[in-house]
Amino acid sequence: MKNTFKFSARATAAAAVLALGSSAFAVTFDANLELDNTNRSGSAVAATDQGLSQGGRVELNAAGKAGANMFVAGRASFLAKKDGTVGTDDMWIQFGSATSALKLGRFEAADLFPLVGDTLINNAGTVYGTNTLRGRKDGTQFHAAATTSLGNGLSLELGVVETKSAAKGVRPVVSYAAGAFSLSAALESGKYVSGNDVSGAGATVSYDLGTAKLTGSMAKGKSDAATRNAQSAFALTVAAGGLSVGVISATNEATVGEEKVATVYASYSMPLFDIKGASVTPAISSSTAKTGAVETSENSLRVRLNYAF
């Protein structure tokens, strides 16, 4: 549940009226609790990670926006985790107009390998998704994304990322939406701190049938900082109501041989006691990775409890 607090700029800050050109400024606050109960097994799972585990966090979000034709917006998401630590998810500021804007801070740019209903997806091997330079890697990462509307449902997002410990580069994404159909395509190009290249291309397309939504994604590139493997991946997901089902297939070239990864997953979200904001989501994931005659696997089960308040 979101609580909105509105402050009259005329009554509280004449300077805000001059700066924003508006007589009101709105701030919204919301929070939610998420608790995951997970069981993992299989040869791809370390012995210390086998069996039951529990994780979770409380997320508190604050967001605001001021202006009309020209605007300034911001968002911060603070996390209190079950292991006793605290963290930050999103923390960004965006400014511009209805047709073009610049976002700076900690956030994730457009997802080029969306996995609908991804409550639980544990891949036994590497899956590349043209998301290496998507953002939100660490607290010191520089991330900026400029978005521009090109008209008729077409838009461009240009992201620039630099980290001191991982990778830096650029990531242009072109998106198109018309009715129930949407399509995004992207390139990413850069380097790891080691000097190895980051390069890739990908696309994702979705169509909403009304009763179900189909999403397909494919990616090809190099994202392994150590071996510079050539990688490719494909995913198909179906979402209908609270049910989501997906399949993932990936191939990774390596000096020890070609690795093939296959993953299937499913989740079903349902209300908890018909209480507003409360839900329970059982989910399963099964994955294998095969290199030559060697095969590893992971099978996982999760029950997620979520309560928005």
- Retrieve residue 193's tokens: 């701190």
Q: Which fold has domain 3-308?
A: Porin (2.40.160)
Q: Is the pLDDT of residue 22 over 70?
A: no
Q: Is the pLDDT of residue 2 over 80?
A: no
pLDDT tens digits for 193-229?
Answer: 888 888 999 999 999 999 999 999 999 998 765 655 7
Letter for the amino acid at 286? S
pLDDT value at residue 222: 82
pLDDT tens digits for 60-86?
Answer: 999 999 998 899 999 999 999 999 999
Helix, strand, coil shares, percent, the chain, to 5: 5, 65, 30
Comparison of pLDDT for 142 and 24, the residue scoring more: 142
One-letter-per-residue 3-state SS of 132-183:
CCCCCCCCCCEEEEEEEEEECCEEEEEEEEECCCCEEEEEEEEEEEECCEEE
Q: Where are the domains of the chain?
A: 3-308
Q: DSSP label at 117?
A: T
Q: Is the pLDDT of residue 149 over 50?
A: yes
State the Cα–Cα distance between residues 49 and 35, nearest whole angstrom.
Answer: 18
pTM exceeds cut of 0.75: yes
Comparison of pLDDT for 14 and 43, the residue scoring more: 43
Q: Is the pLDDT of residue 12 over 70?
A: no
pLDDT tens digits for 151-189?
Answer: 999 999 999 999 888 889 999 999 999 999 999 999 999
Which residues, including other chains, have CB under 8 Å from residue 22's CB and lie 6 or more apart?
Answer: 9, 66, 67, 68
- Retrieve residue 307's tokens: 């309560």
